[in-house]
Amino acid sequence: MTAKFFAILTNQGAALLANAAALGTKLNLTQMAVGDGNGTLPTPDAAQTKLVNQKRIAPLNMLSVDPNNASQIIAEQIIPENEGGFWIREIGIYDDNGVLIAVANCPETYKPQLQEGSGRTQTIRMVLIVSSTAAVTLKIDPSVVLATRQYADNAVIEVKAYADNLLKQHIAASNPHPQYAPLASPVFTGTPKAPTAAQTSNDAQLATTAFVQAAIAALVSGELSKKQPLDNTLTELSGKSVTGLLDYLGLREAVAGVSVVGASRNARMNIAAASVSANFIADEVIVATEPGGKLYRVPDFNKVVNLSVTGAGGMDTGTAPANGYIALYAIYKPDEKKSALLAVNATASSVPEIYGGVNMPAGYTASALVSVWRIVSGQFVVGHQRNRHVSFPLTVVYATLTGVTAISGVSFATAVPKNAVTINGYLTVYENQPGTGVELSLYSSVTGIGQLRANATVTGQTSAAIANGELHVIESQTLYYNMPNTYSGQYGIGCTGYAF
């Protein structure tokens, strides 16, 4: 039966591999790309220089020789939960010069993203047969920290075996603690003198005792794999003190336990009068180097941002919009334990939880979204933020004198940013002439999900009613409204806040 799914070297890849084998040089495989084949399953072609329709490219998570076949190389990439929204039908491997070395097709699979209501971590592997694995560099970018469960389990087993062997050797040694008097001491003559150990002489022993716990914690968090291969790491750690061990592994600042990027305790920001500057305060903020990367707790965060300047404490680039929205990121320098605010124009699109631009101030490597605020005439509008909820004076987004029976969309773009996930709606209705009543409802969707309802139904006389509450945002900056009849009256929709 003819193989339907397979991987091949491209013409360029075969030439580069042959050249590397002949000259004794290395071919550096660094990135993997996936694509959707423009909706159909493609057949790999050695003449290809790119995928049919590439959807994602990122560094490899692992590159190794198949332990069961020395002529096969296994390349692996992990696509995290927060990326997706596309089909995967084709795979490509690139070298460090951006040349397509190998191409493959695969059984089509859909990679969802969390916004679609489903998410998963997707592992993509390509097995490639080559004439000489020695001509291929088998290493990965240390900044790629995602690892499969199997990789972590194997590493934990290796660490445990190493620690068990250390303990076995220690127990078997005739005199494992030469700095202390032996248990079976000879009869002393003369004046006995007990040796006094130097203050730091026990550091290596203490580090050995603490090694298993620290190393396994590092493996679970992904820190050990970021440093270097395990055998080199064990050599490097030999004789280190506990403090030195933790510093080497980068664990003293790393977050322990489960934390979420952007999470904070007692976060607040208050704008009492329109201003180009704002002061964001939090007892603690969680920042990260990248999605799925290392997390840091930044305590006692109290920083000011000024929209009229650029860099740390100002805009990341350019100037603030005259009217629109500004996102604020808490940014952090781990080496100096220095933090600041960075403002980003968030008018045109929803911004990510971790700063995704190219204008991060020098030295700052971790960040987290902490606020998104409306800007009018280049200034922060009056409002108050508590954690991730922003409140402000009533802003009218829609008003009419005629009822609309069909459920229709109403834009809140003048009141809430694209990052808003809930909206605090405010409804008013007024029956301005004696009748059978007027009514106004507000929903999260055109299908009527969620409802705020204001109903003035005093028959035979004028009456008024208001309603307010929170609705989920399903479509960015949009809610839906209708009236059950077309009676003449006064209908108004406003907004008093949002959460992001």
Whole-number Å distance between alpha carbons of 480 and 476: 12
In this predicted structure, what is the pLDDT of residue 274?
96
Whole-number Å distance between alpha carbons of 229 and 231: 6
Whole-number Å distance between alpha carbons of 439 and 484: 7
In this predicted structure, what is the pLDDT of residue 153?
58
**Rounded average pLDDT over 60-65:** 84
In this predicted structure, what is the pLDDT of residue 208?
46
25 shares its domain with 93: yes
Is the model's pLDDT at 184 over the cut of 70? no
In angstroms, the Cα distances linking 36 to 7, 41, 85, 112 are 16, 8, 11, 13
Residue 359 lies in a domain: yes
Q: Worst-scoring range by mean pLDDT, 283-287, 327-331, 376-380, 463-467?
A: 463-467
In this predicted structure, what is the pLDDT of residue 173?
79
277 shares its domain with 227: no
pLDDT digits (tens, 9 = 90+) for 213-239: 555 555 545 444 444 444 455 555 454
411 shares its domain with 367: no
11 shares its domain with 133: yes
Q: Which residue has the higher pLDDT, 320 or 82?
A: 320
In this predicted structure, what is the pLDDT of residue 201?
46
In angstroms, the Cα distances linking 101 to 11, 62, 136 are 8, 16, 11
In this predicted structure, what is the pLDDT of residue 144?
47
19 shares its domain with 123: yes
Is the model's pLDDT at 360 over the cut of 70? yes
219 shares its domain with 315: no
Is the model's pLDDT at 310 over the cut of 70? yes
In this predicted structure, what is the pLDDT of residue 196?
56
pLDDT digits (tens, 9 = 90+) for 472-487: 999 999 999 998 876 7
Chosen domain end from 137, 156, 190: 137
352 shares its domain with 410: no
**Rounded average pLDDT over 172-179:** 75
In this predicted structure, what is the pLDDT of residue 460?
58
In angstroms, the Cα distances linking 448 to 117, 386, 444 are 19, 29, 7
Q: Which residue has the higher pLDDT, 414 or 203?
A: 414
Residue 185 lies in a domain: no
Is the model's pLDDT at 350 over the cut of 90? yes
Structure tokens at 470: 């929170």
Residue with tokens 């059950």: 484
Whole-number Å distance between alpha carbons of 230 and 409: 58
pLDDT band at 489 (very low <50, low <70, confident <90, very high): confident
DSSP state of 373: E
Residue 182 lies in a domain: no
Q: Which residue has the higher pLDDT, 19 or 395?
A: 395
In this predicted structure, what is the pLDDT of residue 243?
46
Is the model's pLDDT at 250 over the cut of 80? no
Q: Are 86 and 36 in contact (CB under 8 A)?
A: yes
Residue-wise DSSP of 90-136? EEEEEETTS-EEEEEEEEEEEE--GGGT----EEEEEEEE-S-GGGE
289 shares its domain with 303: yes
275 shares its domain with 230: no
57 shares its domain with 85: yes
pLDDT band at 418 (very low <50, low <70, confident <90, very high): very high
pLDDT digits (tens, 9 = 90+) for 66-123: 778 877 888 888 888 888 899 999 999 999 889 999 999 999 999 888 778 787 888 8
**Rounded average pLDDT over 177-183:** 68
Long-range contacts of residues 284-287, Cβ cutoff 8 Å, at least 24 apart: 285/330, 285/368, 285/370, 286/255, 286/259, 286/260, 286/261, 286/262, 286/368, 287/261, 287/330, 287/331, 287/332, 287/366, 287/367, 287/368
224 shares its domain with 268: no
Is the model's pLDDT at 13 over the cut of 50? yes
Whole-number Å distance between alpha carbons of 237 and 48: 46
Residue 357 lies in a domain: yes
Chosen domain end from 335, 354, 386: 386
pLDDT band at 258 (very low <50, low <70, confident <90, very high): very low
SS (H, E, C) 239-268: CCCHHHHHHHHCCCCECCCCCCCCCEECCE
Longest dimension (CA), the chain: 118
Q: Are 352 and 378 in contact (CB under 8 A)?
A: no
Q: Are 341 and 371 in contact (CB under 8 A)?
A: no
For residue 16, report the phi and psi dihedrals to the nearest 5 degrees.
Answer: -65, -40
Whole-number Å distance between alpha carbons of 166 and 176: 11
Residue 404 lies in a domain: yes
For residue 287, report the phi and psi dihedrals to the nearest 5 degrees.
Answer: -120, 165
pLDDT digits (tens, 9 = 90+) for 271-290: 999 999 999 999 999 999 99
What is the residue range of 75's domain?
7-137
Whole-number Å distance between alpha carbons of 188 and 63: 62
Is the model's pLDDT at 136 over the cut of 90? no
Residue 177 lies in a domain: no
> By C-alpha distance, which of 479, 379, 468 is closest to 421?
479
Is the model's pLDDT at 167 over the cut of 80? no
314 shares its domain with 426: no
Q: Left (φ > 0), alpha (ψ -120 to 50) or beta: where does 117 sit?
A: left
Q: Which residue has the higher pLDDT, 164 or 330?
A: 330
Chosen domain end from 386, 421, 446: 386
> By C-alpha distance, which of 496, 424, 427 is closest to 467?
427
Q: Cβ contacts of residue 229 below 8 Å, gap of 6+? A: none
pLDDT band at 431 (very low <50, low <70, confident <90, very high): confident
Residue 176 lies in a domain: no
Residue 188 lies in a domain: no
User: How many domains is the chain partitioned into structurally?
Assistant: 4
Q: What's the mean per-residue pLDDT of the chain?
A: 81
- Length of the chain in terms of residues written: 500
For residue 18, report the phi and psi dihedrals to the nearest 5 degrees.
Answer: -65, -40
Q: Worst-scoring range by mean pLDDT, 12-16, 45-49, 366-370, 476-480?
A: 12-16
